[in-house]
Amino acid sequence: MTGCLWNRSTYDIRKYQDKLTVRKEFNEHLDMTKPDTDEHAVPEDFVWVGEAEDAELTGMVSVQTGEFEGYNGTGYVGNFTGPEDTVMFTAELPADGVYNLCFSTVSVDDDKLNPVEVDGMTVGTISTHRGRDFTDSRLNGIYLTAGKHRITAATDWGYYYVDRLFITPGTPIPDSAYEVSAALSDPQAFDNSRRLYKFLRDCYGRYTITGQYCDTGKFGKEMVRIEEQTGHYPAMLGLDMMDDSPSRRELGGTNNKAVGFAKDFYVNSGGIVTMCWHWTPPVQYLINNDEHPWYSGFYKEHTTISLDAVADGTDAAGKDALLADIDAICAAMEPLREAQVPILWRPLHEASGGWFWWGNCKPESYVWLWNLLYDRMVREHGLHNLIWVWNGQSKDWYPGDSTVDIIGTDIYAPPHSYASQSAAFQEMTGWTDSRKILALTENGVMPDPEFLQRDRAVWSWFCTWGGDYIHKLNIASEDYTDFSMWEKVYQSGDTLALDDLPCLWTYPLN
């Protein structure tokens, strides 16, 4: 193979030595970047309570009583229906450090997800459950400085009610969170996959790998705009196997080039590849009319497939139809298996959101499909180049440690909101007793590497989605991430771009 980084005339060997030589240097770097939690510890007995009815209300939000029982104070607030509808608490905190935010909320119809902002920056999500009683939604591990802060419960899905906010001392993410299993789920994984996983383990907790989705490869619009603006290509290329779905080939004549781009990026540029699959179901399950076009068939409203019925055998032909699709994807990925190109494989993503057909079901049915997919691809087709990345977005949908290597989450923060998303990171550390690498598998706004290190939420990688998040009409765009943040992210000593990577196919296994 060609393309080992140290053979390039532009490669700066000093940068490699500084970033990626030995574990000792990693540990020294880790010690320098941890927040000083001992010197500025939050008092253990600190509690701040704010009643929503006493906070600042904007838009249509109003104080209410009567519909619910068990609220605190003189009432609660509701009528969150639009982006201007918020309740803003002003809290004064005694010290720099990590805090937990706990909102008491309720919804009368479906479960709701709505953003939390601190001083205008989105730091996490309030998860509100349907019911008649207020329940707690916690965001743990939020780093805040001493002094006054504006903490806002805002509107995305809306239609929820807020009773109050508790703020208590939090616990920083421990070093042990980054001590993950050395073994992949596939005992027959190819050496190149084991090398990539070893590299991810060595970097985890120290560096965040930069990534970008770009469906036209290294020299596509998104990748080139980033290189022009920052002087660096992303270390990771994100691609989609969507157009290799048999129904798309049949109805649209699609010709997917993702496999070729993946092989080229790894072999000729020494980069890392991640792949998802917007799985358009078999033709017989597509509605396919003007209102429900075939090309949107991966969304639940455009298909008639019931995964529950397939999983429990009610739809007897469904399993064979899905297996035929899986076989077609395996055939399409065969060149990557033959070349032993390691792929961070992320199928069946965002299931708990319920917008894709593979999430429009009971969690048990989803887990059944995940394990069917794993078994068919690994044991039947021998795709031992795959590293399995799961991001079902909820612990309830976790398939189990035996078929998952890495856990990811997709977070689309509002424009120019560069928070570390430490609350999500800390929550995900508790999704399994077996520690897994955690990654920000899709994002719209690039996270600030300074915040990642300060908050100890050092995601293994981020992978920004393409299109408007990076460019408009092929012109680089600041609509989501300011150019100054592009440069900060790609020039940071705490991130890895393409020219920071070692030669991955000779990376030591021990």
Domains and CATH numbers, the chain: 48-169 (2.60.120.260), 191-506 (3.20.20.80)
Residue 279: Cβ within 10 Å count:
26
> What does pTM read for this prediction?
0.92
Exposed/middle/buried for 120, CB within 10 Å: 0-12, 13-18, 19+?
exposed
SS (H, E, C) 285-312: HECCCCCCCHHHCCEHHHECCCHHHHHC
Backbone torsion region of residue 400, taken as left when φ is above 0, otherwise alpha when ψ lies between -120 and 50, otherwise beta: left
Q: What is the pLDDT along the chain (510 residues), one digit of tens a residue?
A: 333 432 322 333 333 444 444 333 433 433 434 444 444 589 999 999 999 999 999 999 999 998 888 899 999 999 999 999 999 999 999 999 999 999 999 998 888 999 999 999 999 999 998 888 999 999 999 999 999 999 999 999 999 999 999 999 999 999 999 999 899 999 999 999 999 999 999 999 999 999 999 999 999 999 999 999 999 999 999 999 999 999 999 999 999 999 999 999 999 999 999 999 999 999 999 999 999 999 999 999 999 999 999 999 999 999 999 999 999 999 999 999 999 999 999 999 999 999 999 999 999 999 999 999 999 999 999 999 999 999 999 999 999 999 999 999 999 999 999 999 999 999 999 999 899 999 999 999 999 999 999 999 999 999 999 999 999 999 999 999 999 999 999 999 999 999 999 999 999 998
Helix ranges (H only) for 35-163 are: none
In contact, 494 and 453? CB cutoff 8 Å: yes
Q: How far is the C-alpha of 252 from the C-alpha of 325, rounded, in Å?
A: 16
Measured over the CA atoms of residue 162, residue 165, residue 171 and residue 172, the dihedral's sign is: positive
Q: How far is the C-alpha of 86 from the C-alpha of 118, rounded, in Å?
A: 13
Q: How far is the C-alpha of 223 from the C-alpha of 474, rounded, in Å?
A: 11
Q: Per-residue DSSP letters for 333-377?
A: THHHHHTT--EEEE-STTGGG--BGGGSS-HHHHHHHHHHHHIII
pLDDT attached to residue 40: 53
pLDDT attached to residue 336: 98
Catalytic (active-site) positions: 350, 442
